[in-house]
């Protein structure tokens, strides 16, 4: 079976800075693949090279057996690309936006009308289809933004952080929709800051940091990388900064980062056995008002591998 | 290939037509300004009267013939007065003092040199204050130059054919190649009616063409910011489709704008711009050059606001130095040289020439050629710019 997407050795340099270094992965038909990385990791740059917006300095992209560099039109026709920002016309209605991109991407005139209605139903916007886009809520815009990439029934859907700034309800409806598409056999490349989305949606995940993939595998494979490491969420009251510095020195703690004004996240081996040591370390500097020990998950893996939190 | 292009163009056209401000800028403002300038400065039918200085340093038969023809012309009766002046300096003084509106200067030895087949150059003095007389004097001199060229050719041909030098003059005249008789085939006063309404109409058309076509490239940059350009480019279309789709609409709207300005000038002032085919072709070449220049700006600009500003500056600078706002002849010589780099100068000069002479397409081949050359260069540079930037 040929992969829906095969990319290899992708590199991109902006002036002196390397944005993407030697990135490569494959996505099979019907497979959901996650690309996880902090801000500036190179996710959007990678995607831009996959959809032909950016010429890679090195590397190849093959979509459904078609080489992107050699036959850009044929390769692009198989991709549905959803940009990170809403990329639609604010003074057109939702339906007009869809019709425009459908026509532009070569949908036959007859099929276009029906397909636009289908997509409107799919993203749950049939009742608002004739309102101008700038009257839509953030979540509705996100949904129609995805819809515009589905018109030509792509083999591969590429979503670049599609749920940024969306309320939980809209987010759920987006994820449900995407899940259905994958279940129907579409290949998916998904990037997000939200670990739980990737955990829920993606069969395989790559962790990208500073332009390079640092780990790749199924969710279980990645979590195993961390081994017996737990994540500890502490809520502190007092001099959090000093407490954080002290916590770095506790034996068994491998990572310590501040996640908000009064909270700290630790990655530690044998987490729950370290709790007494942790509490006594911060004694006199800050009071521990809440503790949560979380068994290893993708987020812990991520922190372990990149030394940073995802949501910053 | 064609369908995506038409899709982009259709959306652009629709957006532009929905945008009332853009429509006003494309149609209402140029017509209003051309009309206003025409009424305020041109006037419909000012009493056409021109006094042209006549400096005959030659004393030969050629100037005499010209004088005979000018004074005998019925069209010019009561309109053109010739005043004899002894020399170029005196003519300049009279011109500066406003005693004459323009002057024609025959240099010493002119008749002899023309007779010998060596050609000759008649001088013209004009003043910004009396464009009308300037037009008349130039029209006369243009006719003389044509005559001199024909004559020079005939003499050369005869000499080459072995006719002895002493007999050439008689031989040429007997064979009909223009004696020193000046036939004013076209009423030079038609040039006088290149009243300022045509002049300003042409100027406004030339100026606003930039704004109108520029708006489409601005919208291209807005689409880049909006992300819709990338979305298009990620689709299965040729990289140039978004740019070409917008350029076509900008070009078309600019053509509509210049043609409406032209039509309004004809309707409101009843003044003819000359041969319609030639006028249309010249306008077409101008809009092409304006399209290429604004495209070049868009290809290098970072933001739509920056492109907007630069296009505005370029349009006004080109309009000013190109004589779209103030008549070219009122600019200092250096600036008149500068004018040669602006499409506006070629267009305005070409258009006033057409209106003045009644000549056809062939007479504006040079300006059209230059405009096309400007367009080709600017298109080439903008293609390079787009490859590096927008399409990088
Ligand atoms: N046009 C550009 N010129 C110069 N540097 C750029 C450009 N685009 C991106 N970069 C740099 O390349 C690196 C990767 O950026 P990219 O946008 O791919 O990150 P990302 O993973 O998508 O981040 P985010 O999660 O914030 O969207 C960053 O360091 C960024 O500053
Ligand atoms: Mg990004």
DSSP string, B77-119: TTTEEEEEESSHHHHHHHHHHTS-SEEEEEPTTHHHHHHTT--
Q: Alpha helix (H) ranges present in A57-160?
A: 72-76, 94-104, 109-122, 138-147
Contact indicator for B284, B304 with CB cutoff of 8 Å: no
**Phi, psi at residue B236, to the nearest 5°?**
-80, 60
Please report which confidence band the pLDDT of residue B251 belongs to, taking 50, 70 and 90 as the band edges: very high
A105 neighbourhood in chain B, CB within 8 Å: 4, 235-237
> Which ligand 1 atom lies nearest to the CA of residue A208?
21
**Helices B165-174 and B131-160: angle between axes, nearest 10 degrees:** 120
A215: region left, alpha or beta (phi > 0 left; psi from -120 to 50 alpha): beta
Q: Which among A53, A74, A100 is the nearest to B234, CB-wise?
A: A53
What residues does ligand 1 touch, defined as CB less than 6 Å away? A 14, 19, 37, 39-45, 84
- A110/B contact by beta carbon, under 8 A: no
Q: How far apart are alpha carbons A158 and A50 in whole angstroms?
A: 9
Cα of B363 to nearest chain A Cα, Å: 44
Q: How far apart are alpha carbons A8 and A22 in whole angstroms?
A: 7
Are residues B88 and B12 part of one domain?
no
CB contact under 8 A, A86 and B236: no
Task: Let me know if residue B221 belongs to a domain.
Answer: yes
Q: Does domain A229-295 have CATH number 3.40.50.2300?
A: no
Q: Among candidates B144, B257, B270, B142, which has minimal Cα distance to B202?
A: B257
Are residues B226 and B139 part of one domain?
no
* Per-residue pLDDT at B6 exceeds 90: yes
Task: Let me know if residue B182 belongs to a domain.
Answer: no
- A88/B contact by beta carbon, under 8 A: yes
Tokens of A138: 């953030």
For residue B83, the model assigns a pLDDT of 86
B3 neighbourhood in chain A, CB within 8 Å: 103, 106
Q: Bigger pLDDT: A119 or B97?
A: A119
| Among candidate residues B174, B208, B235, the one where a domain is terminated | B174
Cα first-last separation, chain A: 39
For residue A256, the model assigns a pLDDT of 86
Q: Which residue of B has its CA nearest to A76?
A: B236
Least confident of B119-133, B163-177, B262-276, B378-392: B163-177
In B, residues 213-272, which contact A (CB 8 Å cutoff)?
226-228, 230-238
The stretch B95-116 carries a mean pLDDT of 83
For residue A259, the model assigns a pLDDT of 86
Distance A85 CA to ligand 2 centre (A): 9
Distance A294 CA to ligand 2 centre (A): 28
Contact indicator for B245, B349 with CB cutoff of 8 Å: no
| Among candidate residues B174, B207, B229, the one where a domain is terminated | B174
Tokens of B391: 């399409």
CB contact under 8 A, B226 and A53: no
Q: How far apart are alpha carbons B40 and B62 in whole angstroms?
A: 41
Instruction: Let me know the angle formed at the C-alpha of B261 by B256 and B262, rounded to the nearest 5 degrees.
Output: 95
Q: Which among A73, A86, A148 is the nearest to B236, CB-wise?
A: A73
* Per-residue pLDDT at B180 exceeds 60: no
Point out the residues of chain A with pLDDT beneath 50.
311-312
Are residues B384 and B239 part of one domain?
yes
> Which ligand 1 atom lies nearest to the CA of residue A211?
14
Distance A84 CA to ligand 2 centre (A): 6
Q: Alpha helix (H) ranges present in chain A?
A: 43-50, 72-76, 94-104, 109-122, 138-147, 168-183, 195-201, 219-226, 240-248, 271-282, 298-306
CA B321 → CA A37, A153, B105, B332, B342, distances in Å? 55, 55, 28, 10, 7
Q: Among candidates A144, A20, A187, A154, which has minimal Cα distance to A74?
A: A154
Kind of pairing between the strands at A229-238 and A286-294: antiparallel
The domain that holds B140 is classified in CATH as 3.40.1710
**Atom 5 (ligand 1) nearest CA:** A14
- A86/B contact by beta carbon, under 8 A: yes
Q: How far apart are alpha carbons A198 and A34 in whole angstroms?
A: 6
Which residues, 6 or more positions from B385, have their beta carbon under 8 angstroms from its beta carbon?
B296, B299, B300
Are residues B30 and B109 part of one domain?
no
Least confident of A211-220, B146-155, B192-201, B327-336: B192-201
The stretch B228-248 carries a mean pLDDT of 93
CB contact under 8 A, B227 and A53: no
Segment (H or E) for A32: strand A32-36
For residue B361, the model assigns a pLDDT of 87
Q: How far apart are alpha carbons A268 and A270 in whole angstroms?
A: 6
Mutate to test the pocket of ligand 1, among A38, A43, A193, A195 (most ligand atoms within 8 A of CB): A43
Q: How far apart are alpha carbons A133 and A175 in whole angstroms?
A: 21
> Which ligand 1 atom lies nearest to the CA of residue A20?
14
For residue B192, the model assigns a pLDDT of 44
* Structural domain boundaries in chain A: 5-224, 229-295
Segment (H or E) for A13: strand A5-14
* Per-residue pLDDT at B185 exceeds 70: no
Task: Let me know if residue B309 belongs to a domain.
Answer: yes
Tens of pLDDT, residue by residue over A265-310, are 888 877 667 888 888 888 888 888 888 887 777 777 777 777 766 5
Beta bridge partners of B103: B53, B125
Architecture field, domain A5-224: 3-Layer(aba) Sandwich (3.40)
User: Structural domain tally of chain B?
Assistant: 2
**Atom 10 (ligand 1) nearest CA:** A19
Contact indicator for A182, A26 with CB cutoff of 8 Å: no
Contact indicator for A30, A187 with CB cutoff of 8 Å: yes
For residue B187, the model assigns a pLDDT of 40
For residue A253, the model assigns a pLDDT of 83
A&B contacts, CB < 8 Å: 66
Task: Let me know if residue B186 belongs to a domain.
Answer: no
* Per-residue pLDDT at B110 exceeds 50: yes
Q: Which among A55, A81, A85 is the nearest to B234, CB-wise?
A: A81
Task: Let me know if residue B187 belongs to a domain.
Answer: no
Full strand arrangement of the beta sheet holding A5-14: A17-27, A5-14, A58-63, A66-67
CB contact under 8 A, B236 and A77: yes
Q: Among candidates A298, A308, A77, A35, which has minimal Cα distance to A161?
A: A35
Are residues B250 and B341 part of one domain?
yes
Contact indicator for B88, B56 with CB cutoff of 8 Å: no
Contact indicator for A269, A228 with CB cutoff of 8 Å: yes
The stretch B256-280 carries a mean pLDDT of 88
Q: Among candidates A23, A64, A61, which has minimal Cα distance to A206?
A: A23
Are residues B276 and B326 part of one domain?
yes
Beta bridge partners of B106: B56
Q: Which residue of B has its CA nearest to A55?
A: B392
Are residues B240 and B142 part of one domain?
no
* Per-residue pLDDT at B385 exceeds 80: yes
- Three-state SS across B223-279? HHHHCHHHHHHHCCCCCCHHHHHHHHHHHHHHHHHHHHHHHHHHHHHCCCCCCHHHH
Full strand arrangement of the beta sheet holding A286-294: A253-260, A263-269, A229-238, A286-294
In a mutational test of the B interface, the residue from A74, A77, A104 whose CB has the highest number of chain B CBs within 10 Å is: A104
Tokens of B266: 């004809």
* Per-residue pLDDT at B183 exceeds 60: no
**Atom 30 (ligand 1) nearest CA:** A40
* Per-residue pLDDT at B20 exceeds 60: yes
Q: Average pLDDT of chain B?
A: 82
Beta bridge partners of A308: none
Task: Let me know if residue B184 belongs to a domain.
Answer: no
> Which ligand 1 atom lies nearest to the CA of residue A12?
12
The stretch B69-79 carries a mean pLDDT of 73
Please report which confidence band the pLDDT of residue B60 belongs to, taking 50, 70 and 90 as the band edges: confident
> Which ligand 1 atom lies nearest to the CA of residue A15?
4
Instruction: Let me know the angle formed at the C-alpha of A85 by A83 and A87, rounded to the nearest 5 degrees.
Output: 70
Q: How far apart are alpha carbons A187 and A27 in whole angstroms?
A: 7
For residue B174, the model assigns a pLDDT of 60
ipTM reported for the complex surpasses 0.85: no
* Per-residue pLDDT at B319 exceeds 90: no
Are residues B356 and B311 part of one domain?
yes
Are residues B202 and B70 part of one domain?
no
CB contact under 8 A, B235 and A86: no
For residue A69, the model assigns a pLDDT of 92
CB contact under 8 A, A89 and B226: yes
Q: Whole-model pTM?
A: 0.72
Distance B79 CA to ligand 2 centre (A): 76
Q: Bigger pLDDT: A176 or B166?
A: A176
Distance A14 CA to ligand 1 centre (A): 9
Q: Which among A54, A76, A89 is the nearest to B228, CB-wise?
A: A89
Distance B279 CA to ligand 2 centre (A): 53
Are residues B62 and B37 part of one domain?
no
- Domain span including residue B153: 50-174
Which ligand does the CA of A39 lie closest to?
1
Distance B260 CA to ligand 1 centre (A): 48
Are residues B370 and B245 part of one domain?
yes
């Amino acid at each position: 079976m040929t992969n829906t997407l095969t990319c290899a050795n992708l590199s991109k340099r902006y002036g002196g800075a390397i944005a993407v270094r030697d990135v490569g992965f494959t996505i099979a038909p019907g497979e959901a693949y996650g690309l996880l990385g902090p801000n500036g990791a190179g996710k959007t740059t990678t995607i831009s090279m996959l959809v032909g917006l950016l010429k890679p300095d090195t590397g190849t992209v093959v979509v459904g057996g078609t080489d992107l560099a050699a036959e850009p039109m044929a390769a692009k026709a198989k991709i549905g690309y959803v940009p990170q920002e809403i990329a639609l016309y604010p003074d057109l209605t939702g339906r007009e936006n869809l019709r425009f991109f459908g026509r532009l991407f070569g949908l036959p005139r007859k099929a276009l009308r029906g397909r636009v209605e289908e997509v409107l139903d799919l993203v749950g916007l049939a009742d608002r289809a004739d309102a101008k886009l700038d009257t839509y809520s953030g979540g509705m815009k996100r949904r129609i933004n995805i819809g515009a990439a589905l018109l030509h029934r792509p083999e591969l859907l590429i979503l670049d952080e599609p749920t940024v700034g969306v309320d939980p309800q809209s987010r759920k409806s987006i994820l449900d929709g995407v899940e259905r598409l994958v279940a129907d056999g579409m290949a998916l490349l998904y990037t997000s800051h939200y670990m739980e989305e990737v955990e829920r949606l993606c069969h395989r995940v790559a962790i990208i940091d500073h332009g390079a993939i640092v780990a790749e595998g199924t969710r279980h494979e990645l979590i195993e990388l961390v081994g017996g490491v737990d994540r500890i969420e502490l809520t502190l009251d007092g001099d959090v900064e000093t407490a954080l510095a002290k916590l770095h020195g506790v034996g068994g703690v491998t990572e310590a980062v501040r996640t908000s004004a009064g909270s700290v996240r630790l990655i530690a081996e044998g987490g729950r056995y370290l709790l007494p040591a942790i509490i006594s370390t911060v004694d006199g500097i800050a009071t521990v008002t809440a503790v949560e020990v979380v068994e290893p998950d993708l987020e812990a893996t991520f922190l372990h591998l990149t030394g940073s939190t995802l949501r910053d | 290939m064609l369908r995506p292009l038409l899709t982009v163009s259709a959306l652009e056209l629709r957006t532009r037509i929905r945008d009332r401000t853009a429509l006003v800028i494309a149609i209402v403002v140029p017509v209003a300004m051309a009309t206003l300038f025409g009424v305020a400065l041109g006037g419909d039918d000012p009493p056409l009267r021109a006094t042209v200085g006549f400096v005959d340093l030659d004393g030969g038969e050629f100037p005499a013939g010209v004088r005979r023809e000018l004074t005998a012309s019925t069209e010019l009766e009561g309109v053109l007065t010739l005043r004899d002046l002894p020399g170029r300096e005196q003519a300049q003084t009279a011109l500066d003092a406003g005693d004459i509106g323009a002057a024609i200067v025959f240099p010493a030895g002119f008749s002899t040199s023309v007779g010998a087949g060596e050609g000759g150059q008649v001088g013209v003095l004009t003043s910004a204050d009396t464009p009308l007389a300037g037009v008349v004097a130039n029209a006369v001199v243009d006719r003389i130059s044509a005559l001199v060229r024909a004559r020079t050719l005939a003499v050369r041909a005869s000499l080459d054919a072995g006719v002895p030098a002493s007999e050439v003059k008689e031989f040429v005249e007997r064979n009909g190649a223009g004696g020193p008789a000046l036939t004013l085939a076209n009423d030079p006063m038609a040039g006088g009616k290149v009243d300022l309404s045509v002049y300003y109409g042409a100027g406004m058309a030339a100026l606003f063409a930039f704004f109108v076509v520029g708006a489409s490239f601005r919208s291209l940059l807005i689409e880049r910011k909006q992300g819709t350009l990338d979305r298009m480019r990620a689709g299965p279309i040729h990289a140039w489709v978004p740019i070409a789709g917008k350029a076509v609409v900008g070009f078309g709207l600019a053509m509509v704008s210049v043609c409406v300005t032209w039509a309004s000038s004809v309707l409101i002032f009843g003044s003819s711009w000359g041969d319609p085919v030639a006028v249309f072709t010249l306008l077409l070449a101008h809009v092409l050059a304006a399209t290429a220049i604004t495209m070049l700006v868009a290809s290098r600009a970072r933001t739509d606001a920056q492109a907007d500003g630069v296009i505005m500056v370029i349009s006004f600078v080109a309009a000013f130095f190109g004589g779209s706002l103030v008549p070219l002849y009122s600019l200092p010589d250096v600036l008149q040289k500068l004018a040669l780099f602006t499409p506006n100068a070629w267009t305005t000069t070409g258009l006033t020439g057409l209106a003045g002479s009644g000549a056809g397409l062939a007479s504006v081949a040079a300006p059209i050629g230059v405009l096309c050359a400007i367009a080709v260069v600017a298109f080439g540079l903008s293609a390079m710019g787009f490859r590096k930037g927008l399409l990088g």
